[in-house]
Amino acid sequence: MAATEVNLEQQPSHAAPPESPPVVLLIDDAPLMHRLLAARLKDEGVEVIGAFDGQEGLDLAQLQRPSIVLLDLDMPNMHGFEILRALKNDPRTIGLPVIIVSGSGRPDDKVRAFELGAIDFVTKPFDAAELRARIHSALRLMRLLRLLEQRAQIDGLTGLWNRTYFNERLASEINSATRMGQGVALVICDLDHFKKLNDTFGHTAGDAVLQGFASILLRELRSCDVACRYGGEEFALILPHTSLSEAVTACERIRTALEAQRWRKFPGIRATGSFGVTTSGVSNLNDPTAWVEAADRALYSAKDAGRNRVHVYNPRLDAGCAPDGQLRRAG
């Protein structure tokens, strides 16, 4: 592979997929309300979906994960407060913003709605412009909250996902793969002799290598893959819908790209990485901790074998544990 240069002044970034329009779920037993809302929001850049009873509304909320829920109170079979309580007690829908749209203007109904978790209360008959403004205000608020939440899961130096996000995403991907009968691979990779690199060239150079490696990961991986900074010079990759051989191929591609990288501001640096790959856990297939342990053991087998290589987890590698059962850490 021909040597390439990396512009160290550019931070890696995540390519954001095109945003789909916000989805507004209306739960109301009156067909007129559904027609009226669809007409009033037709040109507002949102998609309106509807449910005519409480259970249908709960099912749609769980399935579609709408951006916002408009909820009537006075409905047959299940009262609006029951629906609101169910939404806020379900971890899948607890974060959905709910605006009550009701013919009741009683103060005690408003107080109860807010106590149960509603973010707004609009009384029928409502002014269409006011309802649009309240919906857009709620959508803006949720976008800001999601942005803050996402920023808390991004590593500030590399722009990759951080350890917190990795822990959540790995558990989710393992559960999904188990349920759907699909493959998923986990890779733990470590930059070789990173402490020596820092000591020789300085921490500015070390930061540049971390950023450059993050750029390689974002360039070489698919959009569905998840690249995280696991900590220090360690990185973790979650590769959904991936077999063991496909994961090894991807790691070899990344490894050779890193080895061939030339660092414009630090021409003396030659960085390499070691990779541990697994498609299962050490003892429990559904335990994320066991998956990390398996990938770790493969990684340190690669370190022991000379670094700058990709190793796959094998139960025979368990001998690579230290006598106390703790994994050895190598630079």
Positions annotated as catalytic residues are: 233
End-to-end alpha carbon distance in the chain: 26
Cα–Cα distance measured from residue 277 to residue 283, given in angstroms and rounded to the nearest whole number:
16
Encoded amino acid at 150, one letter:
Q
319 CB-near residues (< 8 Å, 6+ apart): none
Matching residue, tokens 């009741």: 104
Residue 3 structure tokens: 């040597």
User: What SS3 class is residue 98?
Assistant: strand
Among residues 251, 235, 253, which one has the least CA distance to residue 161? 235
Encoded amino acid at 298, one letter:
A
What phi and psi values does residue 169 have, to the nearest 5 degrees?
-70, -40
- Length in residues, the chain: 331
Contact between residue 313 and residue 283 where contact means Cβ atoms under 8 Å apart:
no
Matching residue, tokens 């007129």: 32
CA dist 321 → 287, 296, 300, 316 (Å)? 19, 10, 9, 11
Contact between residue 160 and residue 235 where contact means Cβ atoms under 8 Å apart:
yes
Contact between residue 80 and residue 73 where contact means Cβ atoms under 8 Å apart:
yes
Cα–Cα distance measured from residue 137 to residue 170, given in angstroms and rounded to the nearest whole number:
34
